[in-house]
Structure 1
Amino acid sequence: MLTTTVPKEFVHRAGVAEVMLTDWRRKDDLRFSVSAQWPRIHGFFAPVAGRHDPLIAAETLRQAGLLLAHAEFNVPLGFQFVMWDLTLETRPEHLAVGGAPATLELDVVCRDVKSRNSTLAGFRYDVVMYRDGHVAATGSARFTCMAPKVYQRVRGGRVVGSVRPLALTAPIAPQTVGRVSPTDVVLSATPDEGRWQLRLDTRHPVLMEHPVDHVPGMLLLEAVRQASIATVGTGARPLALVSDFTRYIELDTPSFIEARRIPGDGTRVLVTGTQNGELAFSSTVTMESRTV
Structure 2
Amino acid sequence: MSTSTFRPADTTCPENHATAWTAALRYPSLTTTVPKEFVHRASVAEVMLTDWKRTGDDRFVVSAQWPRGHSFFTAVDGHHDPLISAETIRQAGCLLAHAEYGVPLGHSFLMWSLDFAVRPDGLLVDDAPASLDIEITCSDVKRRGRSVAGFRYDAVVRRNGRIAATGSADFTCVPSKVYTRMRAERLAPGRPRIPLTAPTAPQTVGRISPTDVVLSPTGEQNSWQLRVDTRHPILFDHPVDHVPGMMLLEAARQATVATLGRPALALGLTSTFTRYAELDAPCLITARRLPGTSAGESVLVTGHQEGEPVFSTTVTAAAPRPE
Normalised by the size of structure 1, how large is the TM-score? Answer: 0.97
Q: Distance in 2 between matches of 1:145 and 1:162?
A: 26
1:235 is displaced (CA, Å) by 2.8
Q: Distance in 2 between matches of 1:160 and 1:117?
A: 30
1:274 is displaced (CA, Å) by 0.2
Structure-1 residue corresponding to 2:319: 289
Matching residue's letter, 2:246: M
> Which among 274, 285, 290 is matched to residue 304 of structure 2?
274
Q: Distance in 2 between matches of 1:95 and 1:6?
A: 23
Matching residue's letter, 1:12: H
Q: Gaps (5+ residues) in structure 2?
A: 1-28
SS of equivalent residue, structure 1 residue 244: strand
Q: Distance in 1 between matches of 2:50 and 2:191?
A: 35
Q: 1:18-69 CA deviation, whole Å, 9 max, x = no partner?
A: 0000000011120000000000000000111111000000000000000000
Q: Distance in 2 between matches of 1:281 and 1:161?
A: 27
Normalised by the size of structure 2, how large is the TM-score? Answer: 0.88
Structure-2 residue corresponding to 1:27: 55
Please provide the CA RMSD for this pair. 1.3
The alignment of Structure 1 onto Structure 2 pairs a total of residues equal to 292
SS of equivalent residue, structure 2 residue 286: strand
SS of equivalent residue, structure 1 residue 2: coil
Q: Answer yes or no: is the 8 Å Cα contact 1:224–1:283 preserved in 2.
A: yes
SS of equivalent residue, structure 1 residue 267: strand
Matching residue's letter, 2:123: L
SS of equivalent residue, structure 2 residue 135: strand
Q: Distance in 2 between matches of 1:3 and 1:130?
A: 18
SS of equivalent residue, structure 2 residue 76: coil
Structure-2 residue corresponding to 1:201: 229
1:233 is displaced (CA, Å) by 2.2
Show the 5 A alignment for 1:116-265: 116-159=144-187, 163-265=191-293
Q: Distance in 1 between matches of 2:292 and 2:57?
A: 42
Q: Distance in 2 between matches of 1:191 and 1:253?
A: 19
Structure-1 residue corresponding to 2:68: 40
Q: Distance in 2 between matches of 1:223 and 1:42?
A: 18
Query: Is 1:88–2:116 an aligned residue pair?
Result: yes
Q: Distance in 2 between matches of 1:264 and 1:40?
A: 31
SS of equivalent residue, structure 2 residue 110: strand
Matching residue's letter, 2:67: P
Q: Identity percentage over the alignment? A: 62
Structure-1 residue corresponding to 2:85: 57
Q: Distance in 2 between matches of 1:61 and 1:162?
A: 35
State the structure with more CA Rg.
Answer: 2
1:155 is displaced (CA, Å) by 1.3
Matching residue's letter, 1:200: V
SS of equivalent residue, structure 2 residue 168: strand
Q: Answer yes or no: is the 8 Å Cα contact 1:229–1:237 preserved in 2.
A: no
1:278 is displaced (CA, Å) by 1.1
Matching residue's letter, 1:156: A
More divergent stretch after superposition (7-16 vs 230-239): 230-239
Matching residue's letter, 2:127: G
Q: Distance in 2 between matches of 1:285 and 1:170?
A: 25
1:163 is displaced (CA, Å) by 3.2
Q: Answer yes or no: is the 8 Å Cα contact 1:152–1:158 preserved in 2.
A: no
Matching residue's letter, 1:146: V
SS of equivalent residue, structure 2 residue 37: helix
Q: Answer yes or no: is the 8 Å Cα contact 1:87–1:140 preserved in 2.
A: yes
Q: Distance in 2 between matches of 1:264 and 1:110?
A: 32
Q: Distance in 1 between matches of 2:238 and 2:170?
A: 23
Q: Answer yes or no: is the 8 Å Cα contact 1:161–1:213 preserved in 2.
A: no
Q: Distance in 2 between matches of 1:160 and 1:226?
A: 32
